[in-house]
Structure 1
Amino acid sequence: MSQAIDHVALLPGYLVAATAVTVLLADLFLGRRGVTIGVAAVGFTATGTAAGWLATQPARQTFCTVDGCSYVTGVPGAVIAVTLCGLALAVLALSTGLLRGTGEYRAPTGEYVFLLSCSLAGGVILAYARDLITLVVALETLTLPLYVLVAMRGESRRSAEAAVNFLLVSVAASTVTLFGAAMLYAATGAVHLTALAAALSGAIPTVAAVGAAMVLAGLAFKLAAVPLHGWAPGTYDGAPLPIAAYLSTASKLGGVAALLWVVTEAFSPIVNLVGPILLVLAVATMTIGNLVALRQRRTVRLLAWSSIAQAGYLLVPLGGYAVVAADITSAATAVLVFALFYVVMELAAFAAVIRLRGADRDGGSVDDLAGSLRSAPVPSIALLLAVAALAGLPPGLAGLFAKVTVISAVADLLPWLAVVVAINAVIGLVYYLRFGAVVVRAGSPARPTTAWPTTVVLTVVTGVLVLVGLAPQLLWDLAAF
């Protein structure tokens, strides 16, 4: 069957792919770090602008068959694509110190920026993917470049171990996802999400039920949710700090997008099956993440375990609504809103750590930040604001509204689940407050030479963090399904 291709719908994908190719050519023929970074920055901005413009147009779709369409534009997808472009642009700016190499190590500019562009390409396509094949390919495109980027810390043994750990667990997760998708196809003969929903609306074969569970388990890897969470702390700590920031924000947002499309479109007829799975994942992830975070003494490992706990909060609305067979689209909106709050808070925290430690150094221990408030007050205040937001404390209003979003989404449906979320939030206060106390107390931290783009990113992200806290309804309106 011939398929009409809507090139306008594909414009963000074309732009980000062209950016990756242009970056490679610029590095090959010009070999100037500033030009290579500038080309990527312009490309990321153009891609985000195109995605934002598409959001103002009627929904478009392409690569369609009688069963459904593989690529569909819409406002939620555009919000994800624009956010991913913003995150990639921020990480690119945070990486200037790493690419300049004034400290412990220097990453090769051309390869680094090209791989970051390729990863963003996968994320942008993922935002609009609506069949299992496109979704899995986009997920792998988002992830594959990160194996190499994680290892770009010179001769660091920890970096190599982190990359191998990430690769092995990712391969296992991808295998589980693909096997589940194959079982779903064997049972239904469909790969498009809408066609899967139609096929699963009747009697559910055992093969399809097992396949759906395996797909959910595989996608949980992207969120660093239990049981596929063990890779995150070591990988984050071994990766260059800007890449750790990308892993904990953009990669996680890509996992959220994949999970939302699959649950809300393909698995909507079997929410009674997927609901308990998501609920168990949510409770286990937030509890394990918070409890293990209490023991962490290294900065990035603390943020990694905190990120795992936040993944548990992300899953709460989907699991809660699905268990009681409520309106799953309301849950999807709550999840996306929380995810947008989260990536801003997490990026602010990492940007502050990079400003205090330097992009070309590791995150060090929490105690290494002692005295930062006196020696570097501006980034320290930004870090304290980000930590307060992650904890859900004033003046971090963004985090407070994020927690309220999750609790209010399930309070009436499953009161016990709201209690579990509240208890975990209290546990989280312990290590967040302890982290903040270290920054405030006396000490003599190292003062690295920091590239000026890092200061710009920190200023912008902190401003966005304040704005989203003051106007949370704006995010809800943007992310509404």
Structure 2
Amino acid sequence: MTVAPTDSGFVAGAANVVQSVDWLAIAPPTIAAVVGLAVLVTDLFVPERRKELLGWISVAGLAAAGLSLLPILDDERSTFCVVGRGDTLCSYTADEFTLVIQLLVLGGALLTALLSLSTLKDARAAGKEIPEGEFWFLLLSSAAGAALLPAARDLATLVVALEVASLPAFALVGLKRGDRRSSEGALKFFLSSVTATAVTLLGASFVYAATGTLHLAEIGAELGEVDGDLRTLARAGVVLTLVGFAFKVAAVPFHFWVPDTYVGAPLPVAAYLSVVGKAVGFTGLILVLVVAFQEYHDVWGPALAVLAALTMTAGNVAALRQRPTRAYSAVRLLAWSSVGQAGYLLVPIAAAGYADRPSQADSAVGSTVAYALMYAAVNLGAFAVAALVGRTHARNRVSDYRGLYARSPLSALTLAFFLLCLAGLPPGIIGLFAKVTVFSAAVDAGLGWLAVVMAANVVIALYYYLQWTALLFRAPEGEPERYRVPAPLTVAVALAAVLGVALSGAPQLVLRFTTSGLF
């Protein structure tokens, strides 16, 4: 008996599957990858004075990849499927969770590309050229892997997507030739990420040995049947996989690479790592823990709760200790802030480990996604303003932002808005609501102690966010000089600000995930 082709992109028979590719479902990562290859080839024929063209091709490619999500918004689709044990198992699924994360990833990559246009042009003018063909190819390749990862529904595809997203990022950090900080940051990032990959692969191999399958849904079913020595092996696999992803999300104590990597990287790359790199790690963590390892929630739930508490505390305390006059203190503060924000993002995932029902776990995951969407918009905006200030203050110290309002009122107001969103204070309503949903997820899961730790950290973070905000409106030292803002940089700041304001005016756009869920 043969079944007619379906929207899932395959034809099922009684004993086998005749596979076809659902090109519409895989369009977002495919477009990013194809444009990346096209840019690399075009770079061979474009003269030096026309290299900026490569950037605009990349921007157009990322926009096209984002627009390719529209035809599949209301239609769950799967492809690369096989029949196993009576069920159809798919390696690629474009459901609501996938599409939301792909929107975050491609939107973040697009804003990064707009920031990069100005950064590369300034580097060229200063005689410190960054190889543009390689830069755009690496950025698009990483974005393609990041867009593939949320659709992965087996461990093999998940790990491949994770590495496709990560490997180009090492090179992006180290592209500032002759810069010791860039090389040091790239080396630390490379060593930590390679270690994380090795640990993740070891954990995945243990899980495969215990269950005999790589598909996430089937792993979830098989783990309940494992007993004896295989159960010990499976638990070890769960722990090792968790440790591997803890490196990827910069959870304490695996966060040591973050500040030096952000300082050494070109500023748009640091912005990309803080948002898209973090989204990749958290997406993988959600898929393996909530979908595949739910049976062992008693193992990873408490471990994640402790990691969340340590991560938010270490990040906020380190950010608090940054001296405003220290070189690159603005970038370091944003780096440590991103570590603290990672702790908040871990809270709902930990809460999912304590859920009594699948719907509760789904709502907890929705809280993480809602917070991630808020964080992506405002953190990219903060980095965009930092890139603006960095054009005239190469050392990018927090003290360099004194009197920014006198020099560029709109830039100061937007940065103040972004910082207040991160702090969770009005008018950054979306930041406040996102923190409340994360706090509620902890309380509903019975993690009262974690909610208390989070509340204490929010208060700690208020100090350095408000201190930086107040500095923007103080009288400048000397005669204020007006900033000239390049058009791409203006567009990046404006897009982030519009998105932040829109989410603050209509927070239900993302907070609905906390009740409706995503799986």
So what's the TM-score if we normalise by structure 2? 0.89
Q: Matched residues, percent identical?
A: 41
Which amino acid is the alignment partner of residue 110 of structure 2? L
2:508 corresponds to 1:473: yes
Which residue is 1:27 aligned to?
Answer: 43
Match of 1:193 in 2: 216
CA offset at residue 56 of structure 1? 2.1
Matched, 1:96 2:142: no
- Residues 237-257 of structure 1: CA distance to partner in whole angstroms, max 9, x if unpaired? 111110000000111111121
Q: In structure 1, list runs of 5 or more residues that go unmatched.
A: none
For the pair 1:6 / 2:56, whether they are aligned, the reply is: no
The answer to whether structure 1 residue 221 and structure 2 residue 247 are counterparts is yes
**Partner residue of 2:487?**
452
Q: Within 1, Cα distance between the matches of 2:127 and 2:398?
A: 19
2-side partners of 1:469 and 1:422: how far apart?
A: 21
Residue in structure 2 matching 1:69, options 90, 93, 96:
90
Which residue type is aligned with residue 466 of structure 1? V
Structure 1 residue 41 corresponds to structure 2 residue 59: yes
More divergent stretch after superposition (270-279 vs 25-34): 25-34
1:237 aligns with 2:258: no
DSSP 3-state at the match of 1:60: strand
Do the aligned partners of 1:388 and 1:395 also contact (CA within 8 Å) in 2? yes
Report the 3-state secondary structure (helix = DSSP H, G, I; strand = E; otherwise coil) of the residue aligned with 1:82: helix
CA RMSD of aligned residues (A): 1.9
Query: What are the residue-to-residue correspondences of 1:245-260 with 2, within 5 Å?
Result: 245-260=271-286
What pairs up with 1:44-59 in 2 under 5 angstroms? Answer: 44-59=62-77
Runs of 4+ with deviation above 6 angstroms: 445-448
Are the aligned partners of 2:393 and 2:400 in contact in 1 as well (CA < 8 Å)? Answer: no
Residues of 2 paired with 1:339 and 1:186: CA distance? 34
Whole-angstrom distance in 1 between the partners of 2:511 and 2:436: 13
- Indicate conservation of the 8 Å contact 2:407/2:483, yes or no: no
User: Do 2:405 and 2:473's aligned partners in 1 also have CA atoms closer than 8 Å?
Assistant: yes
Matching of residues 165-314 of structure 1 within 5 Å: 165-203=188-226, 205-297=231-323, 298-314=329-345
The 3 A distance-change label for structure 1 pair 93 and 194 is same
User: What displacement does 1:329 show?
Assistant: 0.9
Q: Does 1:125 align with 2:162?
A: no
Q: What SS class does the counterpart of residue 29 from structure 1 fall into?
A: coil
2:424 equivalent in structure 1: 392
> What secondary structure is seen at the aligned counterpart in 2 of 1:70?
strand
Matches within 5 A, 1:312-351: 312-326=343-357, 327-351=360-384
Q: Residue 75 of structure 2 aligns to which amino acid in structure 1? A: Q
- Report if the CA contact (8 A) 1:338-1:402 is conserved: yes
Confirm or deny that 1:357 pairs with 2:390: yes
- Output the CA distance in 2 between the equivalents of 1:365 and 1:52: 41
2:182, 2:430 → 1: CA distance? 33
CA displacement at 1:477 relative to structure 2: 3.4
1:415 to 448, 456, 461: 448
Report the alpha carbon displacement of residue 474 of structure 1 after superposing the two structures with TM.
Answer: 1.1
Q: Which moved more, 1:91-100 or 1:236-245?
A: 91-100
Offset at 1:319? 0.9
Q: How many Å separate the matches in 2 of 1:49 and 1:182?
A: 37
- CA distance in 1: counterparts of 2:336 and 2:263, whole angstroms: 11
Secondary structure of the 2:254 match is coil
Equivalent residue pairs, number: 480
Shift of 1:450: 4.0
**Radius of gyration: which is bigger?**
2
Task: Give the C-alpha shift of residue 291 in structure 1.
Answer: 1.1
Question: Which segments of 5 or more consecutive residues in structure 2 lack a partner in the other structure?
Answer: 1-15, 324-328
1:160 aligns with 2:183: yes
AA at the equivalent of 2:164: T
TM-score of the aligned structures, taking structure 1 as reference length: 0.95
Q: Matches of residues 368-379 of structure 1 in structure 2 within 5 Å?
A: 368-379=400-411
Q: 1:478 to 1:28 in 2, by over 3 A?
A: farther
**For the Cα contact (< 8 Å) 2:271–2:380, is it kept in 1?**
yes
Q: How does 1:426-445 map to 2 (within 5 A)?
A: 426-444=459-477
